Amino acid sequence: GDPIGLEMLAVTDPSLVIETIAPSVIKRIPIQRIRLAQQNDARTQSAVTSLLASEVMDGQQLKISFGTGSAMRRICRFLLWSAHNDLVSLPNREKLGNIVATTTETASRMIANLRREGAIVRNPRMPSTMRIDRDKLCKVAGDPQQQSAA
């Protein structure tokens, strides 16, 4: 239910790529329609401005959460944040390493450790997703304020 792509209102170079970590439904709304609505409706202008401001703040919080602490702590925070109903689509090790600012080897080793400890388990019905043990991940992740967004 979250809108994406509104950052295009603030830039002139449409070279951004948006990648989702979970299955998503995309609805395209022409940018001209949004701009016209902003000009003609103060509530729309306020909503778009508020949304963009909250996205900036959320992005900053994620950078702090995924960029501080040990690699294991950052990976656990990412898994907790991206999980929905305790299921998470695990990105490949290169993407995961990029997300949490660590090497691909470290990301791979941390995921293997989490599997051995039972903190993440492959979902037999959906092989591309993992079931998380929220309690185990929370113990490692620390900072409970950043442990859920989905």
Which structural domain range is residue 125 located in? 69-146
Q: Identify whether 82 is part of a domain.
A: yes
Do 96 and 118 fall into the same domain? Answer: yes
Q: Identify whether 23 is part of a domain.
A: no
Do 83 and 127 fall into the same domain? Answer: yes
Do 100 and 119 fall into the same domain? Answer: yes
Contact, 123 vs 129, CB < 8 A? yes
Could you tell me the pTM of the whole model?
Answer: 0.62
Q: Identify whether 127 is part of a domain.
A: yes
Q: Identify whether 22 is part of a domain.
A: no
Task: Specify the CATH number for the domain of residue 138.
Answer: 1.10.10.10
Do 60 and 81 fall into the same domain? Answer: no
User: For each successive 10 residues of the chain (150 residues), what is the average pLDDT?
Assistant: 60 62 71 81 81 74 77 91 88 88 92 94 84 92 55
- Give the closest residue to 22 by CA, choosing from 75, 80, 90: 90
Full DSSP string of 70-96: -HHHHHHHHHHHH-BTTEEEPPPHHHH
